[in-house]
Amino acid sequence: MDKLESEASTAAGGAHHRLAQMAGQWEGVTQVWFDSAQPPASETPQRGSIRAILGSRFLLHEYETSFGDDVHQGVAIYGLHLDAHAFESAWVDSFHTGTSMLFRLP
């Protein structure tokens, strides 16, 4: 991706500009399934914030939820890979990752 393509993507109406519109405070419900044939094992509130970083090319999502009596926290980075025409993310949290990072690539 060249500089002009990057600038066009972060300008009003561009793909990264639209991605940055997700910034803000968010609340929702997290559902956890261990068996898709069964009802969710857990359904709890999740709160977090999303902010644009690195010239609005990426989003940083910090969130908190719970499972049973345990509170869990996580951090994710979301991006849009223009060359691959795909969203990507990497995240760590206190429920899944231990000391490793999770990735979602195209």
Q: Tally Cβ neighbours within 10 Å of residue 26.
A: 13
Q: Is the alpha carbon torsion for 4, 24, 48, 40 positive or negative?
A: negative
CA distances from 7 to 36, 55, 79, 80 (A): 43, 10, 15, 14
- Specify whether the CB–CB gap between 57 and 71 falls below 8 A: no
Q: What is the spatial distance between Cα 12 and Cα 96, in angstroms, rounded to a whole number?
A: 36
Q: Among candidates 2, 4, 65, which has minimal Cα distance to 32?
A: 65
pTM of the model: 0.77
Owning domain of residue 31: 3-104
pLDDT in tens, the chain (106 residues): 566 666 667 667 778 888 888 999 999 998 988 999 999 988 999 999 999 998 888 999 999 998 888 899 999 999 988 888 888 999 998 887 676 777 776 5
* Residue 51: per-residue pLDDT: 96
Number of domains in the chain: 1
